[in-house]
Chains A and B, each alone.
Chain A
Amino acid sequence: NAGVTQTPKFQVLKTGQSMTLQCAQDMNHNSMYWYRQDPGMGLRLIYYSASEGTTDKGEVPNGYNVSRLNKREFSLRLESAAPSQTSVYFCASSDGGTLTDTQYFGPGTRLTVL
């Protein structure tokens, strides 16, 4: 099992460009999450999907959109990238049955917006 995979691993964008970060999991998990990690800020939840067909905002959703394409895949889109969105983005998944479900993280995407 690959677990949680993310593409691309690295990306450099210019201000105003758009891009989609892809995430897939092969653990048959119901819930999926997108986080960003910035120095001194810890991980902050951008959006999550409790189950296929549903998405909800997290702590820092502004400037992002998400799509739960199917049970396996959860994408994060930046429509018009800004330098403030320079960060490391992590996707995670969990079985979703209880609040204490273990979240399994992908390896991350390092995004730089110039």
Chain B
Amino acid sequence: DVQLLESGGDLVQTGGSLRLSCAASGFPFSNCAMAWVRQAPGKGLEWVSSLSNDGSKTYYADSVKGRFSISRDTSTSTIFLQMNSLRAEDTAIYYCAKSRVPNSMDMVFDSWGHGILVTVSS
């Protein structure tokens, strides 16, 4: 079974940094594009960032561009989201998600992690 397990969420001060991790298992990790999607409390879904299967292509929402960085480690089947210069509006549950079709930037998310809470407060 596909499993995606996020970690690294915390309460952080405005302007601070945090690194989220997502450990993947149950599928050929090196073949699949991955993404982070967030959900502010009581709100809808917001795409944050995507990463190609080989890590060569990265994409970001304008709201996080220049502050967040996505990466992956194939040796540990883990993706990361480095978040810098955090703002109150970054407060959300962050989900790691797997793209459905291998070796493509399909961006249909057929598996999701349970989510991890990031709270940014002054």
Interaction A to B = no
- B residues in contact (CB < 8 Å) with A: none
